[in-house]
Amino acid sequence: MAALGLGLVLAAGSPAAASVQTDPNGRYTAEEIHHFLEGFYGNHGPTAWERKHLVSDQLKEKAAENPGFDVLLCAQNTPRDIEVGEVTTAQSARVGWATITTTWDGSPQTASFTAYVDLDGSKPMKLLDVYCGTDGSTTFR
């Protein structure tokens, strides 16, 4: 499944893919965002290429300000598995988001955070922001 998602991420990152829309208003759909996030996060987190090319400048700055903490995963380690939840889109805010759930080696707990994507279909899809929790930490279950 992650390999399929990666192909869609590569396609979503190209200018040609930005013109293919199923939304008549030129916005990415929940399905397109879900495929992007599945490809971006894969099973263990984004690759160096994805971090460089598929992340907003603002989020890159946020990551640079937090050395020793992977802002994109809301963690310090590499997860064993990652699942992308249902995507919600807010047309008026021009943003879509999903809960990302991570599973860790040696722990029965999962951790969740929220990933945000711009809906503007005229630009290549990128991860806009990540919300780790009210206190900056991940939500554990």
* Of residues 37 and 110, more confidently modeled: 37
Query: Coil, helix or strand for 114?
Result: strand
Q: Which of 58-62, 71-75, 98-102, 107-111 has the lowest mean pLDDT?
A: 107-111
**Whole-number pLDDT of residue 106:** 77
Rg, C-alpha atoms of the chain: 14
**Whole-number pLDDT of residue 22:** 56
Asked if residue 62 has pLDDT above 80, the reply is yes
Q: What is the mean pLDDT of residues 102-114?
A: 88
Asked if residue 47 has pLDDT above 90, the reply is yes
Q: What is the pTM of this model?
A: 0.79
Q: What is the 3-state secondary structure (H, E, C) of 65-101?
A: CCCCCECCCCECCCCCEEEEEEEEEECCCCEEEEEEE
Burial class of residue 5 (count of CB atoms within 10 Å of its CB; 0-12, 13-18, 19+): buried
**Whole-number pLDDT of residue 132:** 92
Q: Could you tell me if 84 and 41 are in contact, meaning their C-beta atoms sit under 8 angstroms apart? A: yes
Residue spans per domain, the chain: 2-140
